[in-house]
Structure 1
Amino acid sequence: MTFDMTFEAIAHIESCYPERFGIPRQAGLVPSAPADIVFAATEFNKLAVRGLEQCSHLWVVFIFHDQPFKTAKPLVQPPRLGGRKTMGVYATRSPNRPNPIGLSVVELVGITTVKRTLRLRVRGGDFLDGTPVLDIKPYIPYADAIATATTWAAAAETRLPVRWSDSAIATLYHSYADESAQAAIQCLIAETIAQDPRPAHERGKDGNPGQEWNLQVQEFSVFWTVAQQQAIITRLVKKIKVKELGRSRQNPLG
């Protein structure tokens, strides 16, 4: 039986990750990652979010909107398995799916109205900037948290220790006058690098001498190396003007 259905996005996401590389592989791996779920400030939407302020966490149903895949594959190679073993796509959370729909749990920080937008401030997501949102639902602990659940991916993610070069720290501190802003962006970058976003076949290994990786977090291009099983953030380059995400310019993560 086949059904043809058309959905319209109810909102979009403004995220701290403007590029795919570096986005956490799962929600919750970078707890400090900020994002806004942005609605038009219509009367319908204002009524539709009533009661959400009583919820600490939300399910976000979204579209993997900017992926390189042209056709879905029945077998994929999960990064958690080193990118070398195959599994059926329905046994994984790969974005390369027949219907490119994602599902993530995030922490709800607040609800605000900014100009003509209604914004749900969230943390801990795994969203690309501009992600279309199909639906949001409250996370209900007694129904959604299953202590006896099992899966092939049950082992916790390993984390790289992260060290900062003096140059990288200096760039960071010169970018924000506010100490809380400095601490917030430093935490965000460190958590992002600690999840080791390198390709699966390179994870768990030291890099070659002089080898650097680069990803974008907020307005910074972040360069790092991996040596002696730790990540060293070597330098930051300010690339683009930070998106306000409904925050003050002094503290874009606050």
Structure 2
Amino acid sequence: DMAELLKIKSEAEDFQSEYFYRNSQAEEKRQKENQAATQIQSWFRACKVRAYFSHLHKKAVIIQKIWRGFTARARFRQMVKAAYFIMKMNFYEEMAVRIQRRWRGFFVRKYIHNFYARKSYLEGLFRKNELVRRELDELEELQKRERDCLEMVKEQTAKVYQAYRLHHLLSTKQCPGVFNSPFRSAPHEMEQLLRQVKYQAPTRLAPGGRACLLGMPGPAAPSFSGTLGSPWIKTTQTRCSSRPILPPIGSKKQQVRW
């Protein structure tokens, strides 16, 4: 028993010395271990916080994605509604324009511009135009004939005046004239004209007598109303003076436009 007691006592002393040794070692390394534990705890807490922040970031991204999708779909629905409304309004406006165009055309054709009245008016205008053109053509032809007649009368008057000036060349029973050559089968036209013109005593030559000597009557030339007994001249004057009377051009009241 004594041996066991001594053994226990020695073990207690060893335990006590070991305890004090370890306590001294622990006291020496307490500061370093405390710093290491603090560093480990800070690192662990940082890992936890970073993991939590990463988790929150992922959830925030999911929430933002869902919210942005929702807002984008809502905005797209609004845009679709606006586009559909604009399309309907454009369609309604186009249909309204077509209806107004048809109605205005019907109203104008029925109450303002009558198609059949305008057609009859244009047909009458066409007939009147043809009549006026025909009358103008006849008038032009008549004026042309009058000018030709005046030229012929002037030429015949010049010939008569020349015959008056050359009346001394008329043939006689004893001596044939210049225009009645015995070598001709028939007398010259001037010979016939000299026989029709009566002789008049010559008067004093006017300042324009040079033109008269050339065969053209001047302003002071004597009148041959009594000597122009040629039936051709009378017939020509009668035909030239007969001018047809044109029918009056009636005026038609045009259609009133509102």
TM-score (norm 1): 0.17
Relative contact order, higher structure (CA 8 A, sep 6+): 1
TM-score (norm 2): 0.17
